[in-house]
Structures are given as C-alpha cells and as structure tokens.
Homo-oligomer: A and B are copies of this chain.
Amino acid sequence: LKNQANIRIKDIARMAGVSVGTVDRVLHERGRVSWEALTKVQAVLKNIDYKPNFIARSLGRAKQLRIIALIPNPELDAYWLEVQAGIQQARGEWTHYGVTVAPYLYQHDGKDAMEAVAREALETNPDGFVIGPIFQTLAVPVIEKLRDKQIPFVLFNANIPELNPLNFIGQDLFQSGVLAARLMGAEKRTEENILAVLHVGEDIQEAVYLLDKERGFRDYFNKTNKSHHVTIQSYNVNVPIHAIRDQVENVLNIPGLSGIYVTTSKALGPIASLLETHPRRSEITLIGYDMLEENLKYLKKGIITYLINQNPKRQPIVGISHLVNSLLFKKNVPPIELFPLEIIAKENLESYLASSIH
C-alpha cells in the first residue's frame, strides 16, 4: 500500500482518540473544540512530524482561488510581454489546483488608469493580487486600498517596502550596478576614461529604483583604488524612441568614452546600432539588461558586451507561486526573494536560451 510511512489526519485522530473532524479543527485553528480534545491532539502532534498532503488538500477544495495580476499594458514593450508570458504560464500550472489567474492591464500614461483598472478588478472580489508597479506614486493608493480590504498582495519588478507586501520579487539593484561596473573592466585600463550611465525610457522621478543601480555602479569605483582614472557621467534619456538618436550620439562622441551602462532594458537596440557604426566601437563596452530579442541580436554581434538578466518572465511565476502557497497551503513565504544577477555573454547565451527553466 501507498505512503505507509506517511501520517494522515486519520492516524492522528486514532492516536488521540478523537475524530478526524476534531483534528482538522485543531490543525486549522477553527475553534469549536474542547480544551480536553485540544490538548489530546496537540500532545500527539508534538510527538509526530505531520506533513499535510498538499495534493489531496487541493483536490478536496470546493472554493476557487482568484488571483489578479496587475501589470502595465505590454503593447510593444518586450520586457512586459515577457512578464505577461510568465503570467500565462503560471495560469496553466495552477488551474488544476483550482486557482485562476486573471491579468488586468493598466495604461502607462493615463494618470488614473492604474487605479481605475484596480477598482474594476476589486469588484470581482479576488483573493490576492500580484502587482508589477512602474509608477511609485500611482501604486501607493491602489495598494493602500488592498490593505484596507485585507487582500494579500505580492510585488515584483520594483519594491515599495513601506507598504510591506506579503512578498517582493526582484533583484538587488545596488548590487546590479556594482556588477555592471565590474564587468566594464575599466580599472584595468591604463589611460584616463569616461563611463556613461544612461537611464532610458523612464521618468526618473517615478522610477527611483534606477538610481540604486547608478549608486552601485559609482560605489564600485569609489571603493579602494579603482577610481583613479575613471570618470562617470549620468544621463536621463526619457524621450520618444525616434528622438533618442541625438542624445546617444552626443554621448558616443565624448572623448575618452570607454563604456556605456544602460540601466533599463529599453532602447538598447537603437543605442547598439549607433555604436555599431561608430569609429571607436571596439574601445567601448556596452552593458544593459535582459534577453529581449533585439538585445540578443547585438549581443551575438559583439556590440553589446554583457547583458544582466532580470528574468522578467520568471518574476510573476514565482510571485504567483508564493501567493498560492500562502493562501492555499498556508505556507510561510519569505518577505523578499531576490533573483540571481545572471551574466549573459555571447558565449553562454545559447545555454540560457536552450534551458527550459528560463
């Protein structure tokens, strides 16, 4: 017979001399149990190592679990399209557990769009939210409403720690900048050189988290003796994509420029294509984020030196998994889950693309 070794609720009931119903009420603290029965069951639980069978638990559930995934409308943004793909995958993985995941998309621009969409989602009275915020100031009122209604939520992409979510998924952004700095290899150069930090495609007032990356980047060179002949200049490039050209060319023409660090996954393609035709191309290291199709094109060509992978697809998958673990299985989830800072070079790119875990 199966699972002979495993202890079931039925076994606990027999050992404590009560019924399975009573054991269930003790385990889930549902009340309506006498002090006498409580102590008997607790005594048994102390002595054995009961591991509930999550499989049976979800089979026997009557209730559906409704989860809302609230993200910006991906439109043509490759980063958020990856996120959306992750949500779809999680959806498939959890259906058999009676969990539904409904994506709700808000607009980047319309100032009250996120709040309106969130309100709409709330009317379906869901059990939990997974939120990928891009504008801090807009996300805060939405999330405060969730707290009022006691609806648990998980954040990914950008954290807002003071709202203490059930869990945050992302990366250590400061360290991400440190890593980018190391990969520049600038301290090994003997001549004076300039590094440019480009914050592309985001309003730096809203996307404050990008500044953490810059701080990490600068910090690396400030440490010990790595900074003697390195100068760092930073630029906010928040214009429409067709207007980017002039700004980037100005940067490229800085005398002594030896590296460009783009802190987002945006517009790396246009930047790389300008660099490709630049006379000093082989002397300039270009580092950016994420394995988006256009980025890979230039990584393969050797124009982009390294990409740091933020795993946009995996972030919502793990977020939803944490939410389900908490809600359905009553498991404890860590308050914060930082993904590894994956270094993608031309030479290990294929190994990442072929790997099914990504």
Contact = CB atoms under 8 A, between A and B. Distances in A.
Contact of A345 (B61, B179, B338, B352): B179
Interface in A341-355: 341-343, 345-348, 350-352, 354-355
Contacts of A276: none
A157 B58 CA distance: 36
Given A58-B55, A96-B55, A182-B345, A351 B171 contact: yes
B95 A3 contact: yes
Copies of this chain in its oligomeric complex = 2
Interface in A304-358: 318, 334, 337-343, 345-348, 350-352, 354-358
- Residue in A59, A63, A358 whose Cβ sees the most chain B Cβ within 10 Å: A59
A354 B170 CA distance: 12
Nearest to A65: B2
Interface of A: 1-3, 6, 51, 53-56, 58-59, 61-64, 95-98, 171-172, 175, 178-179, 181-183, 185, 220, 318, 334, 337-343, 345-348, 350-352, 354-358
4 A-B pairs with the lowest CB-CB distances in the bound complex, closest first = A341-B348, A343-B343, A179-B347, A341-B351
A295 B150 CA distance: 46
A341 to B, nearest CB: 4
Contacts of A346: 182
A339 B56 CA distance: 33
Contact of A355 (B2, B56, B338, B343): B338
Given A340-B355, A358-B340, A347 B178 contact: yes
A216 to B, nearest CB: 9
Given A340-B355, A342-B342, A95 B55 contact: no
B2 A63 contact: yes
Contacts of A179: 345, 347-348
A305 to B, nearest CB: 11
Nearest to A5: B95
- Residue in A53, A348, A356 whose Cβ sees the most chain B Cβ within 10 Å: A348
B53 A96 contact: yes
Contacts of A62: 1-2
Contact of A350 (B175, B334, B354): B175
Contacts of A181: 347
Contact of A175 (B53, B178, B183, B351): B351
A51 B97 CA distance: 13
B338 A55 contact: no
A172 B343 CA distance: 17
Nearest to A338: B354
